[in-house]
Amino acid sequence: VNWAEYGNQSSLGEFILLGVSDRPQLELLLFVLILISYTITLLGNTTIIMVSWLDPHLHTPMYFFLSNLSFLDLCYTTSVGPQMLLNFRRSHKSISWAGCVAQLYISLSLGCTECLLLAIMAYDRYAAICQPLRYTAIMSLRFCLQLAATSWLCGFGNSMLQTILTLRLPRCGRNQIDNLFCEVPALLKLACIDTSANEAKLLAGAVIFLLVPLGFILMSYVYIGTAVLKIHSAKGRFKAFNTCASHLVVVSLFYGTGISMYLQPPSSYSQQRGKIVSLFYTMVTPMLNPFIYTLRNKEGTQAGAVVGHGTICASFGFCSIFPPHMDFSTLCPLPLFTTALAFSHLKEKPSLPE
């Protein structure tokens, strides 16, 4: 059999993303929820980036990495969200071969980068709490830039390898992807040869980019917990735990869904379950991140209120409607509501030294 001929033949034309096309009512519901989620993600993460850049008090390592995470989430949801929304509202649910390749590469790159970035943020919290006197020396501007650049380069490098290995598989003309977007496990199911070698390489990559960073994060928080318990003041212990709680929530959401998706052979996982999980870590988690971080962080909330108030006043003249002391955290229940609804239907503040 000439596998190269089959591979070339299957790489032309387009792919059909089946998604939930067999359930039109659910499709309409998902369109509304994902549109809301995508809009909130754009607004929330853009706000974090702007506030971190405009407020000098937030020019710290923690907010530097948080801005990286927000920019990453913006790109992550944009790589899959618009195509999903488009396919939900049209009968021919297709994506071009080039579009599928781009979606596969970009989304996997950003997912791997986020795994490393969350581990780096855990190290930042470790340095701030366990090495407070040396924190500014450890987390220098140059070191922060090196850490961020390393996470991005490693993420995109691993994605390049996985994308090439996946696209080289012959599909014998199969082009119907039973998923909401182009993803490695779903594409492996289209192959017409044994994919055990590819599954092993995907599993190895998942161990490196999921389990190793997660182990590093857990080890960091063991040290952090030990240091916090030595603090005599109850107020001091609460402040230290509260600083790290938001990061732990994000870690639980992201790594939990990622591990359930990638740390098992693609040939054995349920397609319906895979759609739920992939929808969660591509759309829901990036939407929740701004709320999780800012609502548990006094500096971020206050800075956001000041910058937001100034922007609204300057742009629309609504100062009388939005007073400076307004608490914008009252918007919090909206993403939580959309998350619950979707699932019911789918069964320290040191400056950054130069």
pLDDT of residue 228: 83
∠ CA 205-171-277, nearest 5°, is 45
pLDDT of residue 297: 56
Q: Does the pLDDT of residue 126 top 50, yes or no?
A: yes
pLDDT of residue 12: 52
Position 333 confidence tier, pLDDT thresholds 50, 70, 90: very low
Give every CB contact of residue 1 below 8 A, 6+ residues apart in sequence.
none
Of the chain, the end-to-end C-alpha distance in Å amounts to 61
Q: Does the pLDDT of residue 218 top 70, yes or no?
A: yes
Position 250 confidence tier, pLDDT thresholds 50, 70, 90: confident
Tokens 């182009």 identify what position?
182
Ordered by start, the domain boundaries in the chain are 9-346
Write the Ramachandran bin of 317: left for phi over 0, alpha for psi from -120 to 50, otherwise beta. Answer: left
Query: Which pairing describes strands 176-177 and 14-17: parallel, antiparallel, or unpaired?
Result: parallel
What pLDDT, in 10s, does the model give residues 258-295?
888 888 766 666 667 778 888 888 888 889 888 887 75
Give every CB contact of residue 326 below 8 A, 6+ residues apart in sequence.
305, 309
Contact 243, 292 (CB under 8 A): no
Where does 62-148 show beta strands of DSSP type E? 94-96
Strands of the 176-177 sheet, one edge to the other: 94-96, 14-17, 176-177
Contact 167, 264 (CB under 8 A): no
pLDDT of residue 267: 60
Nearest to 111 by CA among 274, 261, 218, 273: 261
∠ CA 56-290-277, nearest 5°, is 150
Q: Span 9-346: which CATH code?
A: 1.20.1070.10
**Cα gap 253→286, rounded to integer Å:** 10
Chain centroid to Cα 240, Å, comes to: 25
Residue of 306 and 138 predicted with greater confidence: 138
Contact 89, 184 (CB under 8 A): no
Position 137 confidence tier, pLDDT thresholds 50, 70, 90: very high
Q: Does the pLDDT of residue 309 top 80, yes or no?
A: no
pLDDT of residue 278: 84
Tokens 């590469």 identify what position?
105
pLDDT of residue 272: 73
pLDDT above 70 covers a percentage of the chain that reads: 77
Give every CB contact of residue 300 below 8 A, 6+ residues apart in sequence.
48, 51, 58, 63, 293, 294
**Cα gap 292→339, rounded to integer Å:** 14
**Cα gap 81→38, rounded to integer Å:** 7
Contact 47, 308 (CB under 8 A): yes
Q: Does the pLDDT of residue 120 top 60, yes or no?
A: yes
The token pair at 304 is 């956001």
Burial (CB count within 10 angstroms: exposed 0-12, middle 13-18, buried 19+), residue 325: exposed
